[in-house]
Chains A and B, each alone.
Chain A
């Protein structure tokens, strides 16, 4: 028993040791309770919740040894490494993705029919059924062999055993998919699913991104894309490009409407609390406000007079410049990081463009300026006014003149913005330089964006300048009397009371005349331009005449009467000689001239004159005598009133017989005929000449050859009588006539539909 005791002791010691060792790491291990011995009583506390989870690692190790289980171990290992499937997307999102991928798949599937459809739509005629029945040419031998009569033996046999008539199999055969087809089908489905899952994954990833920077980049990218499109469009289709530009501008306007940068946000409110004490915060808020002001700046039309715009700017400038240290009102131009957020889109694009090649721009503008200066000086000479204003005004006029007439909205915006910025920087009043600068920038922008357009106009301007220079001599001889007169008046007035008056900052012209709502540049340059146009016209005219100078003048020589040696009738034959001499026998006295009534011609011409006079549309007098003034016998309405109420009608087109001599052509409108005529152009036509050309050829077989007639009147769709017209099948896709149809425009148009 000693041995037994010993053993017990050892075990107890061992346990002790183990517990001591286990205590070393100072953690309390909760051992799993395990049942050691069988009991009849099953206490509910004794019951252990045992996870049935099998530790795969252990299993693997267990199977490790045997080579025959390697397969299973591999599988198990793979299982171990496998990760749980990601949580599926939200249902609507998943559905959306499903729809999107489905749409693309179907689009592709349907898209292959595009060429077929396009061809069928545009082809001369389509004859149905599309698949013509292939007639098998049976050789006569085969046919004859089938017509063999039966031998007597066969006949007898038939009597005994009538042949089974082949029953027609009528059941529709359903073709199960072949193995290859099945595989193909499965592959396609798998592809579709895969695409869907890729998209889903991408969407999930993107939706989780919270980074502002990322979104900003995304936005920028989108804009870049748009700009790229815009640039492409500009080359291809300038009109479309303009539309696009307008859209972009609209987007900007929308942004302008929002309350961003109005200091109403959470951030601003939190800052406001501190603003009272913290100068920096105040500054930040001011910046924000400045941004909003910049955005909400109303776009101004350039058509409004420069003076007004200038005035406005002066005011804003003053407020801004009042207290430059005031952080609430200040906007530092060098610190434009806030503004940069709105410095995207076409604005930035334009800026970049400008920076890319500023040299060429300046060149262009310089050129223009140089060409303009000479003209400008001349005009300055003409106007004797000594005002400070005039040069700038003139300059601005000239500048306006150089600009394309159809200023685009966006362009206006640009100009205004530019102005604003400059103003913000400058603390003084507006000066000549500003305008000059602005002019150059605006010009350069214009040239950049609408290069070709500008080029055209600049060419025109150059042409005009050329003409102007030529006419300058003429102009100098007869300077504008009016201008002189007025300016003189003004000068004398100012001279007299100069000492007493304030210096007029913004002098306005004092004119007694009624002011017309026209652009000053027009009125000022009108005589000049008139002359120029006249000169150019005459030049052109002379050109044309020179070109067509070689024309047979013989056509207009009056027809001289040719005396014919005709036969004479018996009654009046004095000299009954029908000699066929070559010489003309001219009677000494033209007896017939005795009969000639000269007044026949006179009356005819009078008649023609009357017709012409009748045809001239008359003035319509809408004046009511006595209305607003005295009326009655001998009272004439004032001239002004008469002019006002008499409306001049639209001048008629020239008469056909105007230069025809003794011919009267009555160009009456025949109402009955007009009912037969086309008075509205049908759809695809946009020009009359095209439409008339399309109906110029008669179709009847009495006018054109029969073959051509048959061709022209063939119906678009021909159906063969008595045949079933099956719907198209995919065989059509592979027909050469459909494969050869390559008109991309038509295909694209139909695909869009």
Chain B
């Protein structure tokens, strides 16, 4: 084997074991040394000799599987073990065996982590430079050709464009205000279809596969296939402003001009939820991938969360005192970023409905927000896109990247599984590279960017089989695996009222992971501490002023000492 390149690769897991795999060794470019190594089959004699050579006092030759890092195990943990409440010997034994299997699953998952070989990229600059200084041009010059092709710009004439990527990040959908609708494989730049619907398009969305796309046009909602043929015209959904597709529920959630929310089940073609939200016209909408709730921002600065089965918002947060301009929720459903007219940007802990965690003041109000898979936040400010990395858990000082354009931004989306941000502007579409924004390892069972046709068909069937019913959309997605305690209590009470029926003793306690105290308890503690501190300080101060000390009784009267008046 020969190798004569200078290109330095990032070290990979298989690179370090070249002593058993490859027999070559790269040295300088000019000198190439070649070794001819003939592999001989192990003869019995050799093996025996080898065995003799080994020192006998050593540890076990095969100590078993490698130990797993406890942190990794913790990461894959599914919760506490089953307690000892089950007394029936057979069932107890069976549960114990089940528990062993669960543990095995956890360990296997932790072991499988080494298969995630890819690492996220990043920008590295000298100490006196900033990453914001790196332009797309500089990046394009320094990356390989294939990566450089990901930076491109489309100059289109039909007004402001909205963009969306398909779930595997392979396909791009463009829809313009002036009716231009185009779908293409943006990696190969192969066009699927391009039509002008001769109506204004307000929003666009891919459906569960890249062969179907939805466009919210002036009057109705239309569904096209990837050749641009109109499949459906859904007249139940009219004058739609914004749309979101919920892939696991097969729901197309939409809000229209009059504040009507509707969820269309695209697998059966039924509207599963349709009601007015009484928020008025709002075009600030996103969905929470963690629990599939639709988040709407209104002109009062309130973000409300909606589910198809409940006609009231399940939660409301007052985020800003001014109208909202954009909302974004990260992939894990941990953080929500909101921006208002007041030029502020806030990060919220949306899982606990708490916050704000961070409060940033911008120099102009953000027009759009989007989280990448690695929790980078893109902020659109007029003609500029700024990308902040790690801005949720800590307060950042400066953006990670900045990209200026000559056209005003309409919307942008991070491309899944790619370090790419696609920006829809008034003058077309531009794609830029943001190193480290995308998830480097993809799960081909979940989203496969290199999906073949058969794989797509297979995935479609499986997804349909695993479709989640719309009523399971709640704030807590694990609600369905919990026992319904109130009705259980009712049932128990009813049973206890029956005569001659023995009561079942059931422990109604639910284990909650209380990782800390409640806010109030914490505040109380802090207050108490502060008070203590103050008392201590005052005492010290008094001592400093050296007030006269109490005189001890000089003469002791034994028991009668207590009658001596104490002088203070």
Contacts and interface: CB of A to CB of B under 8 A. Distances in A.
Interface of A: 121-122, 124, 545, 548-549, 551, 553, 555-556, 559-572, 578, 580, 582, 585, 587, 592-593, 595-598, 600-601, 603-604, 607, 656-657, 659-660, 662-666, 668, 670, 672-681, 683-697, 700-702, 704-705, 707-709, 711-712, 743, 745-746, 748-750
B300 interface: yes
A689 to B, nearest CB: 4
A566 B362 contact: yes
B314 A665 contact: yes
B472 interface: yes
B86 A693 contact: no
Contacts of A568: 363-364, 381-382, 384
Interchain residue pairs A-B with the least CB separation, the first 6: A569-B382, A687-B507, A708-B105, A592-B342, A684-B91, A672-B471
A697 B105 contact: yes
Given A595-B322, A705-B105, A746-B93, 15 more contacts: A551-B517, A556-B522, A580-B130, A580-B133, A600-B301, A660-B353, A662-B317, A663-B318, A668-B314, A685-B85, A686-B85, A687-B506, A688-B510, A705-B112, A745-B89
B499 to A, nearest CB: 20
Interface in B344-370: 344-345, 353-354, 356-365
Interface string B87-119: 111111111011001101100110010000000
B484 A122 contact: no
Interface string B25-45: 000000000000000000000
Contacts of B529: 549, 553
Contacts of A687: 83, 85, 506-509
A673 B472 CA distance: 6
Q: Most chain-B CB neighbours within 10 Å: which of A556, A668, A685, A711?
A: A685
Contacts of A545: 524-525, 528
A685 B86 contact: yes
B487 interface: yes
A701 to B, nearest CB: 8
Contacts, number: 296
A672 B469 CA distance: 10
A150 B38 CA distance: 47
Contact of B86 (A551, A585, A690, A750): A690
Does more than half of chain A's interface fall in helix, strand or loop, or is it mixed? Answer: loop
Contacts of B13: none
Contacts of B356: 559
Q: Most chain-B CB neighbours within 10 Å: which of A677, A683, A700?
A: A677
B491 A689 contact: no
A707 B107 CA distance: 11
Contacts of B507: 686-690
A299 B532 CA distance: 60
B485 interface: yes
B344 to A, nearest CB: 7
Contacts of A564: 345, 360-363, 396-399
Contact of B484 (A663, A677, A708): A677
Contacts of A565: 363, 398
Given A707-B108, A708-B104, A566 B526 contact: no
B264 interface: no
Given A673-B309, A687-B85, A688-B485, A569 B525 contact: no
Interface stretch (B73-81, B144-152, B184-192): B73-81
B480 A677 contact: yes
Contact of B474 (A600, A670, A692): A670
A696 B482 CA distance: 9
A680 B472 CA distance: 19
Interface string B453-482: 000000000000010010110110001111
A614 B249 CA distance: 33
Nearest to A700: B466
Contacts of A709: 105
8 contacts: A561-B359, A562-B396, A567-B381, A571-B382, A596-B342, A679-B488, A705-B105, A711-B101
Contacts of A571: 382
Does more than half of chain B's interface fall in helix, strand or loop, or is it mixed? Answer: mixed
B132 interface: yes
B342 to A, nearest CB: 4
B87 A712 contact: no
B359 A556 contact: no
Nearest to B509: A689
Interface string B293-323: 0000000111000010110111111100110
A702 to B, nearest CB: 5
A693 B397 CA distance: 44
B85 to A, nearest CB: 4
Given A569-B384, A746-B89, A560 B359 contact: yes
A677 B87 contact: no
Given A676-B472, A681-B488, A688-B506, A592 B108 contact: no
Contact of B317 (A561, A663, A702, A745): A663
A692 B446 contact: no
B511 A689 contact: yes
Interface residues of B, number: 115
Q: Most chain-B CB neighbours within 10 Å: which of A578, A585, A592, A657?
A: A592
Nearest to B105: A708
B489 to A, nearest CB: 9
Contacts of A593: 342
B93 A549 contact: no
B528 A601 contact: no
B237 interface: no
B359 A562 contact: yes
B311 to A, nearest CB: 9
Interface string B498-522: 0000001111111100001111111
B95 A551 contact: no
Contact of A549 (B381, B395, B469, B528): B528
Contacts of B317: 662-664
Contact of A659 (B97, B445, B520): B520
Contact of B399 (A121, A566, A689, A701): A566
B483 A566 contact: no
B379 interface: yes
Nearest to B110: A705
B398 A704 contact: no
Q: Most chain-B CB neighbours within 10 Å: which of A545, A595, A666, A675?
A: A666
Interface string B221-257: 0000000000000000000000000000000000000
Given A686-B87, A692-B511, A668 B310 contact: yes
A678 B483 contact: yes
B354 to A, nearest CB: 7
B413 interface: no
A695 B80 CA distance: 11
Contacts of B480: 673, 676-677
Contact of A681 (B93, B130, B506): B506
A585 B363 CA distance: 9
B41 to A, nearest CB: 22
B155 interface: no
A177 B488 CA distance: 63
A585 B361 CA distance: 10
A693 B79 contact: yes
Nearest to A567: B384
B341 interface: yes
A670 B519 contact: no
A676 B523 CA distance: 39
B364 A712 contact: no
B383 interface: yes
Nearest to B382: A569
A368 B92 CA distance: 44
Contact of A592 (B89, B344, B383, B386): B344
B403 to A, nearest CB: 9
Q: Most chain-B CB neighbours within 10 Å: which of A607, A672, A705, A712?
A: A705
A122 B343 CA distance: 65
Given A673-B479, A688-B485, A665 B353 contact: yes
